[in-house]
């Protein structure tokens, strides 16, 4: 490096204090000394600047805490403790071996959380509804056991009130449309139990919507996006005021729902396909629809969706946020960490306490305070309020059931369908039945 590029240091005065005395030493700096000083001076300047961005991040987050779109702590409570929250090791103030506990949430300035009520795809056509009811129950019990930390809410007003109280607004997000067992009645019942978003698919097709594995060729398209019944599900979610979540959906399902929904939608935990070509991520043409519909992509922190490799960094997560902001606009960006639902997270984002470091990185990249507050909470609140405005409980509910031939019947009764047994036979059918019975008796 040319000496002309070195910072200029004039002779300085170093003061050291000891036992009430001040000693002054005059430093004469030559060219060699200047280069040596620069080696430690620039890292020190960078450190101070970093602290400045971190301090600014904390200042912003004190007024606008993060609302995260997806956290799988309830699933961990099932797999680790079978949802027995009173076990000593299940104490959320000291819970170890998870990305999430109460001290970490507080350190991360988490003010709102969509807790994932999740049941795996192998429960489809079996006990999915029972399992999802249990996971919604455990979310409610978290709020009951730790009322000083969590408050279960069901609307945007409740989130804002929780912010003022310094508690974590806790919302139910049901992950996977198989959880409603292709029933509009179950959809409505889950809404009344607090569900405020439904992920249309997980990593399996439902009888009415296609999942992301269709785009890999591993699953076959069944609905070409949304079937007629799938469209009824979307319409009923609009009527109820349930946010449509397109994480895990196929591209065809994404586009169909974005075009059909009267309200903005979310991707609760997805990243940008252009930066990591994984089919769980959102391609640019869909991001353009996100922009046109005022929708929201909440960036996932899972390494394989961030870098398409086993390892990833906080900076790469910020790259996804930058890209979505560039293509879909600053109003389309949010955080959907997927903590406790994935096995590997980026260095620098090891758990939920690290959100301020990500915000500091955005500030370092010259995001404005308004843009940062949008990504933290304001964008989600805008979408939620729009969903609430579109909802209309006075409108007639969707009622037509899914066709019976679209359902697997291995463990399923058929009451209500024409093939179902019924005590209300037509007279002709009843006469035929009695004739058969009498004929059988005469042969005895």
Residues labelled as active-site residues: 70, 72, 175, 202, 248, 269, 338
Stated pTM of the model: 0.84
Rounded CA gap, 372 and 318, in Å? 12
Judge whether 116 lies within some domain: yes
pLDDT in tens, the chain (444 residues): 433 333 333 333 323 333 334 333 333 445 555 444 444 544 444 455 558 999 999 999 999 999 999 999 999 999 999 999 999 999 999 999 999 999 999 999 999 999 999 999 999 999 999 999 999 999 999 999 999 999 999 999 999 999 999 999 999 999 999 999 999 999 999 999 999 999 999 999 999 999 999 999 999 999 999 999 999 999 999 999 999 999 999 999 999 999 999 999 999 999 999 999 999 999 999 999 999 999 999 999 999 999 999 999 999 999 999 999 999 999 999 999 999 999 999 999 999 999 999 999 999 999 999 999 999 999 999 999 999 999 999 999 999 999 999 998 767 788 898 755 544 444 444 444 444 444 444 444
Q: What is the dihedral of CA 408, 411, 413, 417, to 10 degrees?
A: 0
Domain membership of residue 377 as a residue range: 66-390
Tell me, what CATH number does 102's domain have? 3.20.20.140
Instruction: Determine whether 388 is exposed, middle or buried from the number of CB atoms within 10 Å of its CB (0-12, 13-18, 19+).
Output: middle
Rounded CA gap, 110 and 119, in Å? 25
Using alpha carbons only, give the angle 83, 87, 93 rounded to the nearest 5 degrees. 95
Tell me the residue ranges of DSSP E strands in 386-433.
Answer: none
**3-class SS at 85?**
coil
Instruction: Determine whether 406 is exposed, middle or buried from the number of CB atoms within 10 Å of its CB (0-12, 13-18, 19+).
Output: middle
Residue 440: CB atoms within 10 Å:
9
Rounded CA gap, 362 and 335, in Å? 12
Judge whether 426 lies within some domain: no
Rounded CA gap, 167 and 148, in Å? 7
Judge whether 43 lies within some domain: no
Rounded CA gap, 355 and 376, in Å? 9
The phi, psi pair for 418, rounded to 5°, reads -65, -25
Rounded CA gap, 271 and 294, in Å? 17
Total count of residues recorded for the chain: 444
Q: What is the dihedral of CA 133, 135, 136, 142, to 10 degrees?
A: 140
Spatial contact of 243 and 230, defined as CB atoms under 8 Å apart:
no
Judge whether 55 lies within some domain: no
Which uninterrupted H or E stretch holds 199? Answer: strand 195-199
User: In terms of Cα–Cα distance, which of 219, 299, 295 is closest to 264?
Assistant: 295
Domain count, the chain: 1
Q: Which two tokens stand for residue 180?
A: 């409603």
Judge whether 315 lies within some domain: yes
């Amino acid at each position: 490096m040319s000496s002309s590029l070195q910072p200029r240091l004039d002779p300085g005065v170093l003061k050291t204090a000891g036992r009430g005395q001040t000693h002054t030493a005059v430093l004469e700096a030559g060219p060699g000394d200047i280069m040596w000083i620069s080696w430690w001076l620039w890292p020190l300047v960078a450190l101070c600047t970093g602290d400045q961005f971190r301090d600014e991040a904390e200042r912003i987050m004190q007024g606008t805490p993060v609302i995260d779109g997806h956290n799988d702590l309830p699933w961990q409570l099932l797999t680790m403790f079978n949802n027995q929250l009173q076990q000593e090791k299940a104490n959320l103030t000291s819970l170890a071996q998870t990305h999430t506990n109460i001290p970490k949430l507080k350190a991360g300035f988490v003010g709102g959380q969509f807790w994932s009520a999740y049941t795996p795809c192998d429960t489809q056509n079996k006990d999915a509804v029972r399992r999802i009811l249990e996971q919604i129950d455990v979310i409610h019990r978290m709020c009951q056991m730790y009322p000083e930390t969590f408050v279960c809410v069901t609307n945007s007003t409740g989130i804002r009130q929780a912010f003022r109280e310094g508690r974590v607004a806790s919302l139910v997000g049901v992950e996977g449309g198989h959880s409603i067992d292709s029933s509009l009645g179950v959809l409505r019942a889950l809404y009344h139990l607090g569900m405020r978003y439904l992920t249309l698919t997980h990593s399996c097709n439902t009888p009415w919507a296609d999942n992301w594995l269709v785009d890999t060729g591993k699953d076959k398209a069944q609905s070409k996006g949304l079937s007629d019944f799938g469209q009824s599900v979307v319409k009923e979610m609009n009527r109820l005021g349930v946010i449509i979540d397109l994480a895990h959906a196929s591209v065809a399902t994404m586009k169909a729902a974005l075009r059909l929904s009267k309200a903005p939608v979310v991707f609760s935990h997805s990243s940008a396909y252009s930066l990591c070509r994984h089919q769980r991520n959102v391609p640019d043409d869909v991001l353009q629809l996100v922009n046109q519909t005022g929708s929201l992509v909440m960036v996932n922190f899972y390494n394989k969706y961030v870098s398409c490799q086993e390892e990833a960094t906080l900076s790469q997560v910020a790259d996804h946020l930058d890209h979505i902001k560039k293509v879909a606009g600053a109003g389309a960006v949010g955080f959907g960490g997927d903590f406790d639902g994935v096995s590997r997270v980026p260095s620098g984002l090891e758990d939920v306490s690290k959100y301020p470091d990500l915000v500091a990185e955005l500030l370092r990249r010259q995001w404005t305070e308004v843009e940062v507050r949008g990504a933290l909470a304001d964008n989600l609140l805008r979408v939620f309020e729009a969903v609430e405005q579109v909802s209309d409980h006075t409108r007639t509910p969707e009622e037509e059931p899914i066709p019976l031939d679209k359902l697997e019947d291995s463990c399923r009764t058929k009451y209500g369908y024409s093939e179902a047994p019924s005590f209300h036979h037509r007279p002709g059918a009843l006469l035929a039945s009695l004739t058969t019975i009498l004929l059988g008796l005469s042969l005895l």
